[in-house]
Amino acid sequence: MEYREPQDFKNRISGVLIVDKPVGMTSHDVVQFVRRGTKINRAGHTGTLDPRASGVLVVLVGPAVRLSEFVSASDKRYQAVIKFGQTTTTYDSEGDITSRRPVDISHEELEEALSEFVGEVEQTPPAYSALKVKGKKAYELARDGKDVQLEPRLITIHSLELLDWDPPEAVVDIQCSSGTYVRSLASDLGERLGAGATLVGLRRTKNGRFGLREAVSLRRLDEAFENGDWYRYLVPAAEALGDWYTVILKVDEIDDVTHGHRILGEAGLEHGLLARAVSEDGELVALVEYDAETNEWQPKKVFSN
């Protein structure tokens, strides 16, 4: 029997696809793939992965795209392959080699150097990045031979674990805040050890609460598009913020929240706390903010009306 989607299905659907992005595709390529397969134009990713990197890419579909700023800010986890003894213009293997140096680094020295980068640290993004400088992308200016000066920023490295050291290459597990450039981390680590370093492999293993276990390959997703049952891979929008404080709304409260009205909260919560407000069946209704002075939840973003 031919499968037919319910009437108005595409207008109502909202959720998250966790994709295992392959090497060679841009994050935008994956979003375009999802748009074509779902026939839903309202889709976007949360956190760019370079074409040479693979792994977890969170794609928001339908009204869930409005969660982008919150999901993008989630912590990330990577497995990086760092090659010591050479540096490049881009800090990865795509760039031109700018120096070669001998590698005389012991396992203990590498472990010690890694420990120095754990915590809140200042990091300068690579010149070959998509950050804007006077309205232009930094990598466009760098390719034109312009001197690109990017301001350092504070990032947080939660942990750095050395998984393997087979000179001149190290495999490192990295847990870090959003906005961390692993290429810059590799370059800084190389300079710290006096040998220089280049990122030669990168796989994102986690984005927020979503890991490789939940990710679907493009091949399997493509088959699901053909079969018409791709939505079985769709994670409810509320789960994108599964680690947030949760407010379960009663039926009458749903109507209040969707019309922008405040509802009574629980005493003792932190002022300004953001929470997801969901219906009793788990559907995301709104994002709300706690006002400690009035003990009320103020709707900030509404997803149902």
Residue found by looking up tokens 């397969």 in the block? 37
Q: How many CB atoms lie within 10 A of CB 166?
A: 7
List 20, 29, 50, 281, catalytic entry: 50
Q: Nearest-5° angle of CA 47, CA 48, CA 53?
A: 125
- The two tokens of residue 274 are 């953001």
Residue found by looking up tokens 């599964």 in the block? 242
Residue 147 annotated to the active site: no
- Rounded Cα distance between 288 and 293, Å, is 15
Beta strands in 177-295 (DSSP E): 197-207, 210-211, 216-217, 235-236, 245-248, 263-264, 274-278, 284-291
Nearest to 302 by CA among 27, 46, 67, 35: 67
- Rounded Cα distance between 293 and 267, Å, is 10
- Rounded Cα distance between 148 and 153, Å, is 15
- Rounded Cα distance between 174 and 205, Å, is 9
Residue positions annotated with a catalytic role: 50
